[in-house]
């Protein structure tokens, strides 16, 4: 058995939906559970539609017509049986009418709670699951769409970054899905969200359908998790930065977790979290070249001669600097800072400290909120707070990275020879990764220099 997840980049139009059907026909010999994201761009429409509804109900018909047109076009281009087409359109109408009521509720009350926000954003997955299931049925493949809360995909009470309750989910899903699979019926499950114990929808974060699929894969004890993208897996660095980026055939759970955390956009950073301790193999496959190469991700990776597998980067970070003569020594300072940023809903990527300065890596969009959250601490031990927004993070990742002598020297020699200054460096938090900070304008030259040293020069010798 396997789980196959299709992201929004694989679901742009009717051609993409029919391509998904063709893939499933080719691989029908293996029982499959499908997890889907919203159609490409629909989550943005829902997010913006909610924001506009807060200001005025006038925008709501535009949002509804946009969504209805996009989904109707796919149905009309893919469903050949007239009765099934009409039935599917009625199902879509019912869901869109519910969304319309939600948006008018937002407009009339002038507020949107976390729970309502998730409920609105989850409509994209509900619509795409309904449509894909209908298209499969139209192609002679029995299928049923399933919404996360109706099959017991239970989480904690975090509305925007929920964590799955694996023990409960395993029991619920096996009761729900195994009878369908025995009847050769393909379940099509909504990604992105679950529900708390009270039944209120919770989200796994933007692009969280990867995490959903991993949770379902673990709960069903499948052999393989296929995550379909519009790219052929991970590369030695972002191909947009260098044309010489090479595809990576094999990575470990730990390597992928670090690459995703430090900026690689292939997988949601939490995807491997529910799979730890299992032998489930993840395959990152390209919907446009489904017989071609892919990245395979296993619990255990492998060492390579030059150790480094990939170079990740993040240019959307800031360094929040907390200054003071004894901030690195005073007990409780870091805890107080962390608590205040937590209350302000600011995530800290990393902390680098010295006697006179605590440096916190945060998302650049959180800069102003972070300063506001900490301003009242200034005085006494903390002399001042400022933020650097002109920086970028570069991470090198590979099994054996911390135990290989001379590796860091080679990395920083390459960076120095390209004329780039390293402003901060951190190692030891992970066995397979370390990172350094450079000025944002220097990010691409630094990556290109490291890539030449570890991938291009060795390839030509």
> How does DSSP assign 368-422, residue by residue?
HHHHHHHGGG-BTTB-EEEEE-SEEEEEEE-TTTTTSTTHHHHHHHHHHHTT---
Q: How many CA atoms lie within 13 A of 266 on its CB side?
A: 35
Reported as a pLDDT band with limits 50, 70 and 90, residue 325 is confident
Which fold would CATH assign to domain 2-230?
Carbamate kinase (3.40.1160)
DSSP track, 239-252: TTT-TT--B--EEE
159-197 pLDDT per residue, tens: 988 999 999 999 999 999 999 999 999 999 999 999 999
Burial of 6 (0-12, 13-18, 19+ CB in 10 A): buried
User: How much is the pLDDT for 461?
Assistant: 46
Least trusted range by pLDDT, from 40-49, 175-184, 376-385, 444-453? 376-385
Q: How confident is the model at residue 459 (pLDDT cuts 50, 70, 90)?
A: low
Asked if pLDDT for residue 152 goes beyond 60, the answer is: yes
Please give the average per-residue pLDDT across 346-363, as a whole number.
91
pLDDT band at 320 (very low <50, low <70, confident <90, very high): very high
Q: Residue 355 has what pLDDT?
A: 87
Q: Are 107 and 56 in contact (CB under 8 A)?
A: yes
pLDDT surpasses 90 at 149: yes
303 pLDDT above the threshold of 80: no
Query: DSSP secondary-structure letter at 428?
Result: S
Work out the angle between the directed axes of helices 123-138 and 60-78 (0-180°, nearest 10).
20
Mean pLDDT of 34-51: 97
Question: Is residue 291 over pLDDT 80?
Answer: no
Task: Provide the percentage of residues in the chain whose pLDDT is more than 70.
Answer: 99
Q: What is the mean pLDDT of the chain?
A: 93
Closest Cα to residue 92, out of 142, 137, 126, 143? 126
**221 or 457, higher pLDDT:** 221
How confident is the model over 374-418, as pLDDT tens digits?
A: 999 998 789 999 999 999 999 999 998 888 888 999 999 999 999
pLDDT (mean) for 317-337: 88
| Among 122, 96, 103, 98, CA closest to 194 | 122
Any long-range contacts for 162-170 (C-beta under 8 Å, 24+ apart)? 162/193, 162/194, 162/196, 162/202, 162/203, 162/204, 164/194, 164/204, 164/211, 164/215, 164/274, 166/215, 166/218, 166/219, 166/274, 169/215, 169/216, 169/219, 170/218, 170/219, 170/220
pLDDT at 18 exceeding the cut of 80: yes
pLDDT tens-digit readout, 229-243: 988 899 999 999 999
> What percent of the chain stands above pLDDT 90?
83
Helices 123-138 & 42-55 angle (0-180, nearest 10): 140
Residue 440 banded pLDDT, cuts 50, 70, 90: very high
Q: Where are the domains of the chain?
A: 2-230
């Amino acid at each position: 058995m396997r789980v196959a997840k299709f992201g929004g980049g694989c679901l742009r139009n009717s051609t993409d939906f029919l391509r998904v059907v063709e893939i499933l026909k080719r691989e029908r010999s293996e029982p499959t559970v499908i997890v889907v994201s919203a159609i490409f761009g629909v989550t943005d429409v829902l997010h913006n539609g909610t924001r506009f509804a807060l200001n005025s109900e006038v925008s709501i018909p535009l949002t509804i017509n946009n969504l209805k047109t996009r989904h109707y076009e796919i149905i009309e281009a893919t469903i050949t049986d007239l009765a099934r087409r009409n039935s599917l359109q009625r199902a879509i109408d019912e869901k869109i009418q519910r969304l319309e009521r939600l948006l008018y509720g937002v407009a009339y009350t002038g507020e949107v709670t976390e729970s309502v926000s998730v409920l609105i954003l989850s409509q994209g997955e509900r619509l795409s699951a309904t449509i894909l299931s209908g298209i499969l049925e139209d192609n002679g493949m029995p299928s049923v769409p399933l919404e996360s809360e109706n099959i017991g995909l239970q989480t904690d009470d975090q509305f925007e970054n929920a964590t799955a309750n694996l023990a409960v989910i395993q029991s619920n899903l096996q009761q729900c899905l195994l009878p369908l699979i025995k009847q050769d019926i393909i379940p099509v499950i909504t990604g992105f969200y679950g529900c708390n114990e009270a039944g209120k929808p919770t989200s796994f974060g933007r692009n969280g359908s990867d995490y959903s699929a991993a949770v379902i894969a673990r709960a069903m004890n499948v052999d393989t998790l296929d995550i379909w993208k519009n790219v052929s897996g991970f590369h030695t660095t972002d191909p947009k930065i260098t044309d010489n980026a090479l595809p990576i055939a094999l990575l470990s759970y730990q390597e992928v977790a670090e690459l995703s955390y430090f900026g690689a956009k292939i997988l949601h950073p939490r995807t491997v979290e529910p799979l730890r301790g299992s032998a489930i193999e993840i395959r990152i496959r390209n919907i446009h070249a489904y017989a071609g190469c892919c990245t395979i991700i296993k619990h255990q990776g492998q060492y390579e001669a030059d150790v480094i597998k990939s170079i990740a980067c993040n240019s959307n970070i800031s360094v929040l600097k907390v200054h003071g003569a004894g901030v690195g020594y005073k007990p409780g300072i870091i805890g107080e800072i962390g608590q205040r940023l937590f209350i302000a809903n600011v995530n800290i990527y990393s902390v680098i400290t010295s006697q006179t300065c605590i440096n916190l890596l945060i998302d650049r969009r959180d800069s102003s909120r972070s300063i506001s959250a900490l301003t009242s601490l200034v005085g006494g031990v903390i002399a001042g707070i400022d933020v650097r927004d002109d920086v970028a993070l570069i991470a090198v990742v590979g099994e054996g990275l911390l135990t290989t002598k001379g590796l860091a020297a080679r990395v920083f020699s390459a960076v120095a020879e390209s004329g780039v200054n390293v402003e901060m460096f951190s190692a030891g938090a992970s066995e397979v990764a370390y990172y350094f900070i450079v000025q944002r304008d220097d990010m691409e030259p630094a990556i290109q220099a490291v890539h030449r040293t570890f991938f291009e020069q060795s390839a030509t010798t």
